[in-house]
Amino acid sequence: MEEQPKWTSSTVTNMGNITCDACGGNVHTTDVPFQLHGEHLGNFPAEVCKQCGEKVFNEETADRIDTIAQQRGLWNLTSKTKVGQVGTALGITISKRITEFLQLSKGKNVMIYPENKKKIIVELLD
């Protein structure tokens, strides 16, 4: 899964320092690059833990990221499908939104291979 915006994950201590809820490390604010489905959406302000690297966007920034993703047609590209029978082989269907995003069409060459026992990679060759 691609990185999704997170709402909150830090705590302000009574000393005024911000600590990471994940590991307790010190948090600082900086601009970080954000990608969705391999597309760079921009650099956005986030609280970043110096120890574990956890990135947290505030609600306003997360909404801005969502809006940009929707405008670029990157929103909701996941789909659920079932494995079917195609002669003696098995086949899957790819949703129209994904085929449009990938500019995939009938006759294009692809390489397919397992990344692990739960993930298949389909790589476009053309």
Residue ending a domain, choose from 71, 92, 115: 71
Within this chain, do residues 25 and 60 fall inside the same structural domain, yes or no?
Answer: yes
Asked if residue 126 has pLDDT above 80, the reply is no
DSSP letters, the chain, are ------S--EEE-TTS-EEETTT--BEEEEEEEEEETTEEEEEEEEEEETTT--EE--HHHHHHHHHHHHHTT-TT-------EEETTEEE----HHHHHHHT--TT--EEEEEEETTEEEEEE--
What percentage of the chain exceeds 70 in pLDDT? 87
Q: Which residue has the higher pLDDT, 61 or 20?
A: 61
* 82-124 pLDDT, tens digit each: 999 999 999 999 999 999 999 999 999 999 999 999 999 999 9
For residue 3, what pLDDT band results from cuts at 50, 70 and 90? low
Please provide the average confidence, as pLDDT, over all residues in the chain. Answer: 87
State residue 19's pLDDT score: 87
Q: How many domains, the chain?
A: 2
Asked if residue 70 has pLDDT above 80, the reply is yes
Tell whether 5 is covered by a domain: no
Within this chain, do residues 58 and 91 fall inside the same structural domain, yes or no?
Answer: no
53: its two tokens: 């690297």
Domain boundaries, position 34: 10-71
